[in-house]
Amino acid sequence: MAASNGKRPFWMHQLVEYIMGGVLVAQGLQSPTPTVPAVMGGVVMLNAACAQGSLSAFSVVPMKAHRVLDICIAVAVVLMGVQPWVSVENGVRAVMVLVGLVLGFVCLMTNYTVKPKRTRKKGQLSEDIGRAAGRAVGDGINAGKRHLKKR
């Protein structure tokens, strides 16, 4: 669901970062000069994995810092695609520049606001019933597992 300001939610941003990082790593694996695209793909994926978002693996980088890192990484991917010092195939260079531009565009179109934590009010009957039912099922499954281990 899009944010009210026309920007996309952060989980979509993270998903695109994982995909674009995978594209760069795949380009590196298929290239005779794999170092630059593979390293940049790893950096893009690590950036997505460390951000505080719903698809993150580590949740250590706050949203504001991630936004700055996004811009720096997008520029770095483009610069590494056009740099003349390290040997990179021309097709891979084009893909790197394209991926860097896509990352920059995604960065501009992302809503980086942190959603407030949802609080549950006492007396919301449907949620209380659902939670109790889930706990009962979980307790039953755990009891069954314990019973099977005793056999």
Residue 120 has pLDDT above 70, yes or no: no
Residue with the bigger pLDDT between 12 and 115: it is: 12
Following DSSP, what letter does each residue of 52-103 receive, concatenated? Answer: SSTT-SS--B-HHHHHHHHHHHHHHHHHHHH-SSS---HHHHHHHHHHHHHH
Residue 122 has pLDDT above 70, yes or no: no
**What's the pLDDT score for residue 6?**
76
**What's the pLDDT score for residue 2?**
47
Residue 128 has pLDDT above 90, yes or no: no
74, 103 Cβ separation under 8 angstroms: yes
Residue 27 has pLDDT above 80, yes or no: yes
